[in-house]
Amino acid sequence: LYLKALEMYGFKSFADKIRLEFNPGITAIVGPNGSGKSNIADAVRWVLGEQSAKVLRGSKMEDVIFAGSDRRKPLGIAEVSITIDNSSGFLPVDYSEVTITRRVFRSGESEYYLNKTNCRLKDINELLMDTGIGKEGYSIIGQGKIEEILSVKSEDRRHIFEEVAGIVKYKSRKEEAEKKLEDTKQNIIRINDIIEELQ
Ligand code: ATP
């Protein structure tokens, strides 16, 4: 499972459509200050459903759309697609490649697609839950994040490791099951009371 390609159009400084292809192993992106290296990481965060403009280093969501330059007019739409290699079948879908697309218009509407089929953000979140890829999956470590991880309380740090290890799903299911069990216990007590009253 690895990030195979990133395509974008109208996202931040990338007014023209570009396609970056990645291979397994290490890829380094180099370039002068302000050339758009961090914008590439922002694009990956954004397509995975990031809702916070601040995390994307802007003040409102519209800031991800190309705002124009001396020579070019602003655009009205931004679109980013990432293609994840799934030949190992790690993601629970019958496709060897999964392409996630997000599109936003200046009006603020966002659209999401899974392999070109319109879907909800929830579908993408469910597909990526506990895979380590989602926006909470710590697959993208921004500047300053390592320091933050080291300085948080030990319980919070434990939560981070649990998320990375993919056990949060089981913990939340366990909590749900425990709650149901407790509700059922209370119901039994109530029923026994009623039976006693009737006898
Ligand atoms: P550094 O090495 O300094 O961290 P970088 O290569 O990571 O730089 P980025 O921060 O990715 O660079 O890119 C910043 C550039 O993107 C700035 O020139 C900024 O004007 C441009 N930019 C950001 N948002 C938009 C937008 N919506 N429209 C046009 N350009 C944008």
| Choice from 16, 33, 39, 62 to test ligand 1 binding pocket (greatest atom count within 8 A of CB) | 39
| Choice from 38, 70, 75, 105 to test ligand 1 binding pocket (greatest atom count within 8 A of CB) | 38
Domain contains 155: no
Q: In whole angstroms, what is the distance from residue 90 CA to residue 113 CA?
A: 19
Residue 76 token pair? 């009205």
Domain count, the chain: 1
Q: Which domain holds residue 62?
A: 1-135
Q: In whole angstroms, what is the distance from residue 71 CA to residue 197 CA?
A: 85
Q: Whose CA is nearest to atom 17 of ligand 1?
A: 34
Give me the CATH number covering residue 80.
Answer: 3.40.50.300
Q: Whose CA is nearest to atom 24 of ligand 1?
A: 12
Digitized pLDDT (tens) for each residue of the chain, 199 residues in all: 889 999 999 999 999 999 999 999 899 999 999 999 999 999 999 999 988 888 888 989 899 999 999 999 999 999 999 999 999 998 889 999 999 999 999 988 899 999 999 999 989 988 887 777 776 667 788 777 788 788 888 888 887 787 777 777 788 889 999 999 999 999 999 999 999 999 8
pTM: 0.79
**Computed from CA positions of residues 48, 52, 55, 58, in that sequence, does the dihedral angle turn out positive or negative?**
positive
Q: In whole angstroms, what is the distance from residue 88 CA to residue 95 CA?
A: 10
- CB under 6 Å to ligand 1: residues? 12-13, 31, 33-39, 63, 65-67
Secondary structure class of 195 (helix, strand, coil):
helix
Q: In whole angstroms, what is the distance from residue 94 CA to residue 49 CA?
A: 22
Secondary structure class of 11 (helix, strand, coil):
strand
Domain contains 181: no
Q: Whose CA is nearest to atom 15 of ligand 1?
A: 34
